A = this chain, B = another copy of it.
Amino acid sequence: MTQAVGYAAQHSFSRLKPITFERDDPKAREVDIEILYCGVCHSDIHQVKNEWSNTVYPCMPGHEIVGRVTRIGSAVSRHKVGDMVGVGCMVDSCRACEPCRSHEENYCEGPNSWLATYNGPMMPKAKVLTGTNMYGRDNTYGGYSSSIVAPEDFVLKIPAALKPEVAAPILCAGVTTYSPMKHWGVKSGDHVGIIGFGGLGDMAAKIAVAMGARVTIFTRTKEKLEEARRLGAEGVLESDKEAQGKLKASFDFMLSTIPEKHDLNPFMPMLKRDRTIVVVGALEPLAPVNNQERAMHRTSVAGSIIGSIADTQEVLDFCAKHSIGPDIQVIPIQDINHAYKEVLNGDVRFRYVIDMASLKQEEA
């Protein structure tokens, strides 16, 4: 065991505050990581506030983790002490089901699905008919902390060309948008629509542009139109029905990154025949979709959640190769509660990343 310190919420209504806790020593195939940076994801806020009705307290969020390996287990072969590494949304999976064997751990069909980096298994013991918990823990503590221990094959290599603080959000926002674009075969010359222009939308647009796609971003915020142009994309206001009319049947792929309940009906007619809108931002019921429009062009609405470990390594390497990454603002952890308010107040144009050096003063 080693002593660790992190920021956690004790209840759905409470602010994040420092707590001390213990991390296990690394087992044979695990590595111990000193956390340098951790990104702030909108889902951290959903989870802290128990908006998915599944939060286990204390809740210590953080699944965009970058740091240095400090210790390795006896059988570790993929990483060595001193390596710059990352941990994303998962720290384990059942490793036996068909998706796990196909290297799609994010779709794990084991009794508890995958083990989330914080808040424990995606399917907690209480939700499984057999009452099993293959991971032995119903809570996990995430990256708003000084260190983390994880199995080596759930630990990513951070390319040298990426600053560690810039790499952090790629571990969630990056892979969540990259994985569906890869799965649905986005290619050079395609017209890609990105719905919502927050942290996910920003990464989605940059990745799609780097893939060679023509990119159109839909945003509620007039100020962001210029930002879209800066990325090499076209910006369209969600309120601009005239511009949207001209985009009828024009998209090869659309990605909805809006992190709450929203209405897809205005976007459905913009899909070409046989194409798909993939919803990655909202994990809740969407507004009713009119099946008439969908049937008339044989279009689809699909969901996708994060990406596999292989996808995560791919998107890190892709971002390094194309020199892209999130626009970030580095904050001390003491500002986390204020940062949450800012995220909730509107789409911040950048991703907050916590500099864990700031945790030192909590330990003192």
Q: Which of A143-151, A164-172, A221-229, A302-310 contacts B (4 or more CB under 8 A)?
A: A302-310
Could you say which of B122, B183, B286, B289 contacts A296, with CB atoms under 8 Å apart? B122
**Hey, what's the 0/1 contact readout for A320-362 against B, CB within 8 Å counting as 1?**
0000000000000000000000000000000000000000000
- Given the interface pairs A107-B297, A109-B249, A298-B183, the reply to whether A291 lies near B303 with Cβ below 8 Å is yes
Please tell me if A287 contacts chain B, counting CB pairs below 8 Å.
yes
Complex Cα–Cα for A292 and B109 (A): 15
Please tell me if A130 contacts chain B, counting CB pairs below 8 Å.
no
Please tell me if A126 contacts chain B, counting CB pairs below 8 Å.
no
**Hey, what's the 0/1 contact readout for A275-316 against B, CB within 8 Å counting as 1?**
010011011111111111111111111111100000000000
Closest to A179 in B: B298
How many copies of this chain does the complex contain? 2
Which residues of A, 94-147, contact B by the 8 Å Cβ criterion? Answer: 98-99, 104, 107, 109, 113, 122, 129
Q: List 16 A-B contacts (CB under 8 A).
A: A52-B292, A109-B273, A276-B300, A279-B294, A280-B295, A283-B295, A285-B290, A286-B291, A289-B301, A295-B305, A296-B305, A298-B302, A298-B305, A300-B302, A301-B301, A301-B302
CB–CB B303/A299 < 8 A: yes
Q: How far is the CB of A171 from chain B (nearest CB, A)?
A: 18
CB–CB A288/B291 < 8 A: no
Given contacts A107-B273, A299-B303, 11 further A-B contacts (CB under 8 A): A104-B273, A107-B298, A280-B295, A289-B289, A291-B303, A293-B303, A294-B303, A297-B303, A298-B302, A298-B304, A300-B301
Task: Please name all residues of chain B whose beta carbon is closer than 8 Å to the beta carbon of A285 when the two chains form the complex.
Answer: 265, 288-291
CB–CB B273/A291 < 8 A: no
Complex Cα–Cα for A302 and B297 (A): 10
Closest to A302 in B: B300
Could you say which of B98, B282, B283, B291 contacts A284, with CB atoms under 8 Å apart? B291
Closest to A295 in B: B303
Complex Cα–Cα for A297 and B107 (A): 6
Complex Cα–Cα for A99 and B296 (A): 12
Complex Cα–Cα for A273 and B110 (A): 13
Scoring A98, A104, A249, A296 by chain B CB atoms within 10 A of each residue's CB, the highest score goes to A296
Task: Please name all residues of chain B whose beta carbon is closer than 8 Å to the beta carbon of A288 when the two chains form the complex.
Answer: 285-288
Could you say which of B99, B290, B299, B302 contacts A299, with CB atoms under 8 Å apart? B302
Task: Please name all residues of chain B whose beta carbon is closer than 8 Å to the beta carbon of A302 when the two chains form the complex.
Answer: 294, 298-301
Complex Cα–Cα for A129 and B245 (A): 10
Complex Cα–Cα for A300 and B279 (A): 10
Task: Please name all residues of chain B whose beta carbon is closer than 8 Å to the beta carbon of A52 when the two chains form the complex.
Answer: 292
**Hey, what's the 0/1 contact readout for A64-99 against B, CB within 8 Å counting as 1?**
000000000000000000000000000000000011
Q: How far is the CB of A298 from chain B (nearest CB, A)?
A: 5
Could you say which of B129, B286, B297, B299 contacts A289, with CB atoms under 8 Å apart? B286
Complex Cα–Cα for A289 and B280 (A): 14
Task: Please name all residues of chain B whose beta carbon is closer than 8 Å to the beta carbon of A300 when the two chains form the complex.
Answer: 276, 300-303
**Hey, what's the 0/1 contact readout for A244-277 against B, CB within 8 Å counting as 1?**
0100010000000000000001000000010010
Task: Please name all residues of chain B whose beta carbon is closer than 8 Å to the beta carbon of A113 when the two chains form the complex.
Answer: 296
Q: How far is the CB of A266 from chain B (nearest CB, A)?
A: 13
Task: Please name all residues of chain B whose beta carbon is closer than 8 Å to the beta carbon of A294 when the two chains form the complex.
Answer: 279, 301-303
Q: How far is the CB of A312 from chain B (nearest CB, A)?
A: 16
Scoring A104, A249, A283 by chain B CB atoms within 10 A of each residue's CB, the highest score goes to A283
